[in-house]
Chain A
Amino acid sequence: GAVVSQHPSRVICKSGTSVKIECRSLDFQATTMFWYRQFPKQSLMLMATSNEGSKATYEQGVEKDKFLINHASLTLSTLTVTSAHPEDSSFYICSARGGRKDTEAFFGQGTRLTVV
């Protein structure tokens, strides 16, 4: 399968600061990227969908001003958690899909964010 690289794998930040998570498609052009949040022992919760060059579409209940998503190129999308608080601590996972909509999306390794 295709390779999606997510960085960093772990990050600890102080309350009130911002942290950026990168998601890169290494061997294909990702026309669509998805950002998920996963709480311990729970399923993946879709936060937003982004298409290259367009504004992200956020799921209901997800604050777009807090979770800034940029998808400026066909190989890179970023998620910035602004003014982080301890309740933002979670496992964030991206996935990327290229070409036709009915192709499979591949997941990154995930980022464990801890806000102290």
Chain B
Amino acid sequence: GENVEQHPSTLSVQEGDSAVIKCTYSDSASNYFPWYKQELGKGPQLIIDIRSNVGEKKDQRIAVTLNKTAKHFSLHITETQPEDSAVYFCAAREGGGSYIPTFGRGTSLIVHP
């Protein structure tokens, strides 16, 4: 099955700095990679996703990059703000079968004012 590794587990930055979270996956059949933001006591919310036919995607301050050859993808947040503080999960999903995503272990991002 798929295995997703996520690093770092905790990331502390100053407001205005950039934050980068990295994930690797094992199954070359995975072709969809969503990123979720989970605030305390709430369910995960999709913030950006990328499919395997694209190398990079950007949405305002958030961008995701994908390297299929190396099987890794990253989340980039620029100009971080205190409200970006949350737990971020990456996931990888295969392109067939059950289409059930495999989640990383999460990164707790803390943005200090």
Contacts and interface: CB of A to CB of B under 8 A. Distances in A.
Interface string B88-113: 01000001001111011110100000
Chain A interface size band reads: 20 to 34
A46 B105 contact: no
Given A44-B89, A104-B46, A104-B49, A49 B41 contact: no
A106 B103 contact: no
Given A43-B104, A49-B100, A104-B34, A109 B46 contact: no
A6 interface: yes
Chain B interface size band reads: 20 to 34
B110 to A, nearest CB: 13
A109 B42 CA distance: 5
Contacts of B42: 109-110
Residue of A44, A93, A106 ringed by the most chain B CB atoms within 10 A? A44
Residue of B36, B98, B99 ringed by the most chain A CB atoms within 10 A? B99
Interface of B: 32, 34, 36, 41-46, 49, 89, 95, 98-101, 103-106, 108
28 contacts: A1-B46, A4-B43, A6-B43, A41-B106, A41-B108, A42-B106, A43-B103, A43-B105, A43-B106, A44-B44, A44-B103, A46-B100, A49-B98, A93-B43, A93-B44, A97-B99, A101-B98, A101-B99, A104-B34, A104-B46, A104-B49, A105-B101, A106-B46, A107-B36, A107-B43, A108-B43, A110-B42, A112-B41
Interface of A: 1, 4, 6, 34, 41-44, 46, 49, 93, 95, 97, 101-102, 104-110, 112
